[in-house]
C-alpha cells in the first residue's frame, strides 16, 4: 500500500472509500471491504490528518500510524491518501467531488458510511454524495451503521471503552485487540531492581489514554508473543509522579528492547493503580499480578 500526504493525479480508474477511519473499527472495515471487492477498480482510501487542533469534540488518537497502515494493508487497500485537513476543509461538497474525486483520483466508484459528511462545515452528506455520483455516472454504496450490543459502532465508543478500562468492549468494536506499538524508552529501571525488568512506552500527545491501572496484554517482539503485565497510563507506584506511559513486564522474554517498537495487544483490565509504601510491597503485588494475568491469558475468557 502506498501512503500519500499530497493528493496525487491517479491515471487508473479507482473506487474511493471516504472517511476519517481513525480506529479502523468493524464499521470502517465494512466500508473499506465494499470498496476493495469492486472488480476492475483500484481501491483507494481517502482520509486526512489534523494539522491543527481537531474540530471533532473529544477527539484523541486510537491507533498509531503504523498500526493503522498495517490494518489497511490487510484489508487490501492500494492507496491511502490523507492530506492535511487544512488543505481541504474550505472546499464545498461540489468542489471536493469534482476537483478531488473526479479530476485527481479518477474515481469510478464511491463508498462511504451512511453518516458520512464532507465539504466546508461538513455541509455535504451521503445523500448529496449519492446524487453527485449518479449524476456523473459513478457507482455509489452507502454502508449502514454497524451495531454491537444494539448500539452503533463508533470511534467515540472505542475511546470511552478504553478510558473506562472496558477492553473486551473496545476489542469487539475494533474487531481485534486494542494495541499500541510505541518505541521503548529508558525509564527509572525500578523493575530491574525488583527482579521484574520492564519496558517503558510513552503515550504521544493526543493519544487516547487508558484507565490508570494494570492490564493483561500480550507483547509482540519479532513476531513472537509473550505474556505481559502492563501498568498503563501510570502514576509512579512509589512516588506518585504522573507520566502517561505503559510500563510492562514481559514474562517470556529477556533482552534489550530500548529504541525498538514493541506491540502490546490488550485483553483485560486487572486492577486500579495504587501507591505502595515499600519496594517489598510493590514486588509482592507484581508477583500476584503476574499470576493473575498468566491465568487469564491461559483461560477461555479470550474466546
Confidence of residue 79 (pLDDT cuts 50, 70, 90): very high
The verdict on residue 280 lying in a domain is yes
Q: How many domains does the chain have?
A: 2
221 and 166 housed in the same domain: yes
Name the 3-class secondary structure at 238.
coil
Please choose, from the candidates 91, 83, 146, 90, the residue with its C-alpha nearest in 3D space to the C-alpha of residue 114.
146
Strand pairing report for 124-125 and 117-118: antiparallel
Residue 242 is predicted with a pLDDT of 60
Residue 279 has pLDDT above 60, yes or no: yes
Residue 127 is predicted with a pLDDT of 97
Q: Which of 145, 170, 205 is the last residue of a domain?
A: 145
288 and 162 housed in the same domain: yes
Q: How does pLDDT run across 285-296, given as a tens digit for each residue?
A: 889 999 999 999
Q: How does pLDDT run across 28-45, given as a tens digit for each residue?
A: 999 999 999 999 999 999
108 and 168 housed in the same domain: no
Please choose, from the candidates 203, 265, 258, the residue with its C-alpha nearest in 3D space to the C-alpha of residue 234.
203
Confidence of residue 203 (pLDDT cuts 50, 70, 90): very high
pLDDT-wise least confident of 43-47, 80-84, 140-144, 238-242: 238-242
The verdict on residue 23 lying in a domain is yes
The verdict on residue 150 lying in a domain is no
Strand pairing report for 139-143 and 107-113: parallel
87 and 128 housed in the same domain: yes
CATH of the domain at 271: 2.40.30.30
Mean pLDDT of 168-194: 84
Rounded distance between C-alpha atoms, residue 100 and residue 14, angstroms: 12
Q: Could you list the beta-strand ranges (E) of the chain.
A: 2-4, 14-18, 42-46, 79-81, 107-113, 117-118, 124-125, 139-143, 147-148, 151-152, 178-180, 184-185, 198-202, 213-221, 224-232, 245-250, 263-272
What is the spatial order of strands in the sheet that 107-113 belongs to?
Answer: 2-4, 79-81, 42-46, 14-18, 107-113, 139-143
185 and 237 housed in the same domain: yes
Residue 187 has pLDDT above 80, yes or no: no
Q: Considering the entire predicted model, what is its pTM? A: 0.91
Q: Which of 102, 117, 145 is the last residue of a domain?
A: 145
Residue 237 is predicted with a pLDDT of 53
Q: Which element (helix H / strand E) includes 288? A: helix 279-298
Instruction: From residue 19, give the alpha-carbon distance in Å to each of 34, 80, 118, 147, 161.
Output: 13, 11, 9, 18, 22
76 and 176 housed in the same domain: no
Q: Which residues pair with 261 in a beta bridge?
A: 183
Q: How does pLDDT run across 96-155, given as a tens digit for each residue?
A: 999 999 999 999 999 999 999 999 999 999 999 999 999 999 999 999 999 999 999 999
Confidence of residue 83 (pLDDT cuts 50, 70, 90): very high
106 and 225 housed in the same domain: no
Residue 232 is predicted with a pLDDT of 86
Rounded distance between C-alpha atoms, residue 24 and residue 68, angstroms: 7
CATH of the domain at 34: 3.40.50.620
Instruction: From residue 20, give the alpha-carbon distance in Å to each of 97, 105, 154, 235.
Output: 16, 17, 11, 32
Cα dihedral 285, 262, 171, 202, rounded to 10, equals 70
Rounded distance between C-alpha atoms, residue 192 and residue 155, angstroms: 37
DSSP category for residue 302: G
Confidence of residue 191 (pLDDT cuts 50, 70, 90): low
55 and 164 housed in the same domain: no
Range of the domain at 73: 2-145
Name the 3-class secondary structure at 258.
coil
128 and 181 housed in the same domain: no
169 and 64 housed in the same domain: no
Q: How does pLDDT run across 89-103, given as a tens digit for each residue?
A: 999 999 999 999 999
Mean pLDDT of 257-284: 89
162 and 46 housed in the same domain: no
96 and 176 housed in the same domain: no
Confidence of residue 236 (pLDDT cuts 50, 70, 90): low
The verdict on residue 50 lying in a domain is yes
pLDDT-wise least confident of 14-18, 111-115, 207-211, 278-282: 278-282
Task: Provide the grid cell at 8.
Answer: 496525487
Q: Which of 120, 145, 170 is the last residue of a domain?
A: 145
Amino acid at each position: 500500500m502506498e501512503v500519500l500526504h499530497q493528493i496525487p493525479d491517479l491515471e487508473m480508474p479507482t473506487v474511493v472509500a471516504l472517511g476519517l477511519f481513525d480506529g479502523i473499527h468493524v464499521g470502517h472495515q465494512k466500508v473499506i471491504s465494499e470498496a476493495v471487492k469492486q472488480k476492475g477498480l483500484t481501491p483507494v482510501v481517502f482520509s486526512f490528518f489534523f494539522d491543527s487542533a481537531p474540530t471533532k469534540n473529544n477527539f484523541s488518537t486510537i491507533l498509531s500510524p503504523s498500526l493503522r497502515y498495517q490494518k489497511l494493508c490487510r484489508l487490501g487497500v492500494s492507496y491511502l491518501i490523507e492530506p492535511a485537513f487544512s488543505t481541504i476543509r474550505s472546499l464545498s461538497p461540489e468542489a471536493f467531488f469534482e476537483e478531488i474525486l473526479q479530476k485527481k483520483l479518477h474515481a469510478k466508484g464511491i463508498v462511504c458510511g451512511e453518516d458520512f459528511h464532507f465539504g466546508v462545515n461538513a455541509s455535504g452528506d451521503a445523500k448529496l454524495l449519492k446524487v453527485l455520483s449518479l449524476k456523473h455516472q459513478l457507482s455509489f454504496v452507502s454502508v449502514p451503521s454497524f451495531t454491537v450490543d444494539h448500539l452503533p459502532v463508533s470511534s467515540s465508543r472505542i475511546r470511552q471503552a478504553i478510558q473506562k478500562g472496558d477492553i473486551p468492549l473496545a476489542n469487539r468494536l475494533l474487531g481485534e485487540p486494542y494495541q499500541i506499538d510505541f518505541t521503548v524508552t529508558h525509564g527509572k529501571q525500578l523493575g530491574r531492581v525488583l527482579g521484574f525488568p520492564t519496558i517503558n512506552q510513552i503515550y504521544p500527545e493526543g493519544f487516547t489514554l487508558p484507565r490508570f491501572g494494570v492490564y493483561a496484554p500480550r507483547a509482540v517482539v519479532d513476531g513472537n508473543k509473550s505474556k505481559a503485565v502492563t501498568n498503563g497510563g501510570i502514576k509512579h507506584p512509589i512516588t506518585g509522579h504522573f507520566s502517561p506511559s505503559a510500563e510492562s513486564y514481559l514474562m517470556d522474554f529477556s533482552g534489550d528492547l530500548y529504541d525498538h517498537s514493541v506491540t502490546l495487544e490488550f485483553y483485560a483490565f486487572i486492577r486500579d493503580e495504587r501507591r505502595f509504601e515499600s519496594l517489598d510491597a510493590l514486588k509482592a503485588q507484581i508477583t500476584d499480578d503476574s499470576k493473575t494475568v498468566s491465568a487469564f491469558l491461559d483461560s477461555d475468557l479470550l474466546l
